[in-house]
Chain A
């Protein structure tokens, strides 16, 4: 675990940014997350150490984007490559955040960080160099869909950071794609700040190649009357963690989350979500689906926190899981922590296999077992995939998952 050694022996380097120094300092006393803590206890220790074994690479090697930009109407940004952007149109503007704004915001976030809960962010920010941090301020409406790509290079660990401010009344579609390369680790942290009345359809699609690893963390702050819709999909990672933290800072906001993770072989993919309501009239509708096959392990932990101030919160969370092999494992833990009394909160969880009656029905009509299972799976996936913006045609997600070996 080369990186941990480096953190331990860190003597403030002049090349490091202030944020890197702060985070390194925070990590120094205990460089690794507590394996007994609720958030890390199921995490595969040896896989985490493989993640950390690669040496840090600040400069990316050139990579082929799987799908070239084929439409003029999309804006495509690659973190670490073309970080320069300034678009000022009639209806909207997309600009880079100034150095000061970026620093101020990240520092403020760090002040709320906890060692175990935000370990992935601390690691990310202590590794992310200036070139690999992209800060955007988006304003206006009728904004063309935006694609933001992050990727790791072979045999190395890359850290990429994205900070986005959505200004008041802004409305945007944004797809984030994290691409893992063979034998690589990617640490991706995203900070999202939705100002009043703004709304976003956010897609997060992460997929890797052989033995790629990912630590993906997403921190969202929603101001009043904002709407945050998240569709996410994670698959083909030796080890991946997706940590979502959403805070409705003054309530009165809407959050919709549809996420999915697919594990095969001996992969481990986990999703941790924490939704906090810090004001009244909050709304949450969340569904998380997992599919575990072969010897893999899928984990979901979701917590909903409703303090006294968050009266009239309406929150629901559903965890649906398909376990397709006897050697695979699924852990799920949806949890509610509620103090306000005038609330409607519910959660549900199921673990099952493909519906045999449906399979039988299709087979009696001459569809082969393989085809019938594929049909069933595609309907299981479709609910999530259709929620991910601008992915429908271009990224062929459904096809990728179904024909994945």
Chain B
């Protein structure tokens, strides 16, 4: 039998990213209306097409209703009680990293993100986003040599307006859903990546999102374009301080892959999840979608979701190009009173398209973890294939695990396979490990890590190690 006391006595690691950086910020007043949107646009010196895009999205958002179909329960969000723009005050133009407020650099250092290029240890270029604004992007010159554009989306609006105008909102239109419309109206910053034809990005690109203020929402927007025969691996990390209030995070990520291009998008999401009583925590409503436009293009999503009080996230692939490939690898862990409704959509439109879904859900404490996925074969998707596997693990008898796969086929010459299982940590295996002198907690963490192996194998190296540790840490004190 599992010794419950042993588990309850186990050390509980506090959320170590919960600190607040004391820095002067520029905030606009709370609330959302056309004037606020115009103000945001004006502050960011945006061209007219973008302001029109925002206003149009806002009009659509006003007519939409917040979705209620997800298996989530949370108190109503007051959209007028949120600050839609908050930025750390700094000098007008930064010519080099030395001019960035040292406090900010310190913050990112504390988070383990080296921004100062001298300190570069890993071969990863980072775009750091603090509240609503991109602070710094490293390795720009090296990337520029290869023709890769990696910058904040605000900069891209100024310097590469043609690309933004061409692609923004083509994968996730403003009217797509309630949160995407809200994001389209008020998005503040985010990352922009453009990989030119035939280029394999020389290093991994990474964005680090940090929410610092308690009353401002974060609405970032990421756009990645991979031209013909190019490839890129992109990593995304998120943390936030501990506040008693719930902070709204509604992001949109759009990926576009042309002929033979491949994009790998990895996320380790560790927003503040609220305390054990469920007070505070981030409400994470994210729309992520990739469009495999070209032939033989490939988009691969891998995610480790451990944070947020509420997670509502379905990274999806639209498989348009012939023989294009979509992948989704996910580990979602919920503990205490966290709720996650996450999964993917694989929409097969073109012929001979393939998709793989591997989802692992772990629910502990009083949490609720749901997988919700859609696999759809359109009438033209001849010879297409999908394989889905979603496994859930329950830890403790208060947590719940749900699986809602929607499968739809209109193409006789295609195949769909789906399998799902739910289990608990096997006592036999625990006993075996313990009898060989492995501590209880360590044994549990080993088994969880084994359960998630298929997904961790897909993560870039640095992330895989981090993810493993993160899960062990999150589960501490909850196993019983």
Chain A residues engaging chain B, CB cutoff 8 angstroms: 308, 311, 321, 323-353
- Whether A336 contacts B416 by the Cβ 8 Å rule is no
Residues 383-409 of chain B, each 1 if its beta carbon lies under 8 Å from chain A, else 0: 000000000101111111111111111
Per CB-CB distance, the 7 closest pairs between chain A and chain B, nearest first, are A341-B394, A346-B421, A349-B418, A351-B416, A345-B422, A339-B400, A348-B419
B411:A326 contact, CB within 8 angstroms = yes
Question: Across the two chains, which residue of chain A brings its CB closest to B400?
Answer: A339
Question: Given B394, B412, B417, B422, which contacts A324 in the complex, CB threshold below 8 Å?
Answer: B412
B411 touches A323 (CB 8 A): yes
- Measured CB to CB, the nearest residue on chain A to B374 is A333
Report which B residues bind A (CB closer than 8 A): 377, 379, 392, 394-424
Contacts of A332 on B, CB cut-off 8 Å? 407-408
Measured CA separation A339–B407 after assembly (Å):
24
Q: Is the CB of B399 within 8 A of A339?
A: yes
- Which residues of chain B come closer than 8 Å to A351, judged between CB atoms? 377, 407, 409, 414-416
- A-B contacts, 28 of them at CB < 8 A, read A311-B397, A323-B411, A323-B414, A326-B410, A327-B410, A330-B409, A331-B409, A333-B406, A333-B407, A334-B405, A335-B403, A335-B404, A336-B420, A338-B394, A341-B394, A341-B395, A341-B399, A342-B424, A344-B421, A346-B420, A346-B422, A348-B417, A348-B418, A348-B419, A349-B407, A349-B417, A349-B419, A352-B416
Contact across chains for B412 and A343 when beta carbons are under 8 A apart: no
The answer for the CA separation of A332 and B416 in the assembled complex, in Å, is 11
Contacts of B423 in A (CB 8 A): 343-345
Distance to closest chain B CB from A338 (angstroms): 5
Cα distance, A308 to B398, chains bound together (Å)? 7
Report B83 CB to chain A, min CB distance, Å: 34
**How far apart are A82's CB and chain B's nearest CB, in angstroms?**
44
Cα A88 to Cα B421 with chains together (Å): 48
Among A321, A331, A344, A349, the most chain B Cβ lie within 10 Å of the Cβ of A349
User: Contacts A345-B421, A350-B416; is A330 near B400 (CB within 8 Å)?
Assistant: no
- Give CA–CA (A341, B417) in the complex, Å: 26
Please give, as numbers and ranges, the residues of chain A lying within 8 Å of B400 by CB-CB distance. Answer: 337-339
- Which of B402, B408, B417 is the one whose CB lies under 8 Å from A336? B402
Distance from A127 Cβ to chain B, minimum over Cβ atoms (Å): 32
Query: Inside 8 A of A349's CB, which chain B residues have their CB?
Result: 405, 407, 416-419
**Chain A residue contacts of B394, Cβ below 8 A:** 338, 340-341, 343
Shortest C-beta distance, B358 to chain A (Å), equals 15
Contact indicator A338/B392 (Cβ below 8 Å): yes
Identify which of B402, B404, B422 gathers the most chain A CB atoms within 10 Å of its CB. B422
- Chain B residue with Cβ nearest A308: B397
A56 and B416 CA atoms in complex are apart in Å by 42
B397 touches A339 (CB 8 A): yes
Residues of B within 8 A of A346 (CB): 419-422
Known: A338-B401, A341-B397. A329 touches B420 (CB 8 A): no
A352 to B398: give the CA distance in the assembly, Å.
Answer: 38
Residues of chain A lying within 8 A (CB to CB) of residue B404: 333, 335
Rounded to whole Å, the gap between the CB of B378 and the closest CB of chain A is: 11
Output the least CB separation between B3 and chain A (Å).
16
- Closest chain A residue to B376, Cβ basis: A331
Closest CB of chain A to B455's CB: distance in Å? 19
Kindly list chain A residues whose C-beta atoms are within 8 Å of the C-beta of B408: 329-332
For the A-B complex with A333-B404, A341-B395 known, give 17 more contacts whose Cβ atoms are closer than 8 Å: A323-B412, A329-B409, A331-B407, A334-B420, A335-B404, A336-B420, A338-B394, A339-B397, A339-B400, A342-B397, A345-B422, A349-B405, A349-B407, A349-B416, A349-B419, A350-B418, A351-B416
